[in-house]
Amino acid sequence: MTDQKTRAATFAALHVKGNPVVLFNIWDAGSARTVEKAGAKALATGSWPVAAAFGYGDGERIPLDLALDNIRRIVAGTDLPVTMDLEGGYGVSPREVEATVARAVEAGAVGINFEDQVVGGEGLHPAPVQAERIAAARKAFDDAGVPGFVNARTDIFLKNAPDTHDAAMLEDAVARARAYAGAGANGFFAPGLADAAMIGTLCADCPLPVNVIALPGVPDKATLASRGVARISYGPVPYRQMMASLDAAAKAAFG
């Protein structure tokens, strides 16, 4: 099996502006196997589907030990790079974040999603505070000797309806992206952003590869590529599709 450092380097190289890597989010070793066979170049968990698959709500409600054991099982069954959605790092302080990311690296993850919303609270962490937290995540990878991919997520757009997205929010997002890049982030994730023109502006002004989530209403892959997106993920969409199919089949069986 390819070593973790090599997989981390491979994963980082997949992020190409205008030729986005597609991450069809998984939740366990079984879904990972299916997505890999379908042609995935890398695997990514989503916090929502992982929590749901184990009977928990999103928002760091699934115990960290269980989430990490899940990652170990996924990594053990594939030679593809695996990145983990770590939400807010299961802690507020940089020291807590560093400890959490160190455990994710030990479990085999070559990257993380790391969000700036206050998990269990209101609003977003101020950009300077989040930058310190990102620097702590970066340190955990560096101390392990793994060139891990820190995908810095902002919830500016996700927390606001699409018809309210405006130039001020975009300016805030770009400012955060620059601060996060300076702290050691490798990518910038803007879930909820759906307007093609705004996505193009973000990709043009952002110093990091941009990740967009393919929620309903988001432009197709070709359009996102033309706007400069480097990563397309699917979040809870695959799990919800699978559960809708299961629900329909179960109702047919019991009907």
Rounded CA gap, 224 and 70, in Å? 31
Which residues, including other chains, have CB under 8 Å from residue 156's CB and lie 6 or more apart? Answer: 124, 169, 172, 173, 176, 190, 192
What token pair was written down for 116? 């700036």
Question: pLDDT tens digits, residue range 91-111?
Answer: 999 999 999 999 999 999 999
Question: What pLDDT, on the 0 to 100 scale, is given for residue 75?
Answer: 98
Question: pLDDT tens digits, residue range 5-52?
Answer: 999 999 999 999 999 999 999 999 999 999 999 999 999 999 999 999
Question: What pLDDT, on the 0 to 100 scale, is given for residue 196?
Answer: 97
Read off the pTM: 0.96
Question: pLDDT tens digits, residue range 150-165?
Answer: 999 999 999 999 999 9
Specify the number of domains making up the chain.
1
CATH of the domain at 234: 3.20.20.60
In which domain, by residue range, is 47 found? 4-254
Please answer whether residues 138 and 129 qualify as being in contact, where contact means their C-beta atoms are separated by less than 8 angstroms: no
How would residue 2 be classed by pLDDT, with cut points 50, 70 and 90? Answer: confident
